[in-house]
Amino acid sequence: MASILVTGCAGFIGSHLAERLLHDGHRVVGLDNFDPFYDRAHKQQNLTACLAHPRFSFHEADLRQGLDALVDALPADPIEVVVHLAAKAGVGPSVKDPIGYLENNVIGTTSLLEWMRHRDIGKLFFASSSSVYGNTPEQPFREDMNLLAACISPYAASKLSGEQLTYTYHHLYGLGVLNARFFTVYGPRQRPDLAIHKFVRLLQSGQPIPVFGDGTTARDYTFVLDTVDGIARGVEYLLLHTGVYETINLGNNRPVSLLQLIAAVGEAVGVEPQLEFQPMQAGDVDITYADISKARQLLGYAPQTPLPEGLRAFVQWLETVPTEHL
């Protein structure tokens, strides 16, 4: 049993991960600042199972407040691995608020790294994003691609900056790091601002679905429990290795076009979608497509959930959520 710190533990992916790590026998220290990007009650509901578990402790703090705030907020107990999920997420909102994204995702990450150095914690799983690949023409996306001029949104730039920071701390202080680029994670507890969540609610209320562009843009949709399995495997990898530095893709290796997704969501809901075509949104990429061979080789990562099955699970979960939490 290891002691794992999960930042962003009340969020969509973080809450699922905390439950998985507890199930695997670990002690989980959860950290979240309840960013008002969406309803706090939604995030508190995410934590229900964890808060009832004897090996889980929760601490509310904001990484942007710096080292002293983290020292005050977090227990002095030993921590073997940090899983850093906390971030302001989303390409579109980052275009409107680049400073907020850089403060949270770059300054906040630096504060966490400094706290880890202060505490002599030597292993980090860092959640990056497929957005760092931008509109890279070569597909599928490989971890060794040159991304110097790839990012086309502040969110993407903040995530690539985070990866560069983790390398700096690896080089200077010997920090063991596993960077994981997530690819369009969906499923129960998904944030209300994300496409699948919006599409289901629009269909259920009889409204048309906005289609940005011509509908041919594609995403590598990955079910949340498949992503979480990759993270849990990454934690085990870090526990077994010291001083490593690796970057992996955690995707599904199966891009789905926007029109295909909308049709699949319609089938899951049982409603024929009505489409409303609109211009492309600033910062959006044409496609995300993960080469997952490295994650398979290092971790045994192998996503299992077909899109229709994952969408049905999401729709079933959404039916249980009180309207005021959406």
Contact of 141 with 182, CB cutoff 8 Å: no
Task: Give CA separation, 15 vs 64, 94, 223, 280, 312, in Å.
Answer: 21, 23, 14, 32, 20
**Bridge partners, residue 248, by sequence:** 180
Contacts 24+ apart (CB under 8 A), 66-74: 66/111, 66/114, 67/111, 67/114, 67/115, 67/118, 70/111, 70/112, 70/115, 71/115, 71/118, 73/31, 74/5, 74/29, 74/31, 74/115
Q: Return d(Cα 238, Cα 252) in angstroms, integer.
A: 22
For 253, phi then psi, to 5°, come to 65, 25
Q: Return d(Cα 325, Cα 314) in angstroms, integer.
A: 15
How does strand 218-219 pair with strand 256-257?
antiparallel
Residues in contact with 204: Cβ distance below 8 Å, sequence separation at least 6, in sequence order: 269, 271
Catalytic residue numbers read 155
Half-sphere exposure of 283 (CA within 13 A, CB side): 17
Q: Return d(Cα 49, Cα 191) in angstroms, integer.
A: 18
One-letter amino acid of 270? G
* Token pair in block for residue 67: 């080292």
For 8, phi then psi, to 5°, come to 70, 30
Half-sphere exposure of 7 (CA within 13 A, CB side): 30
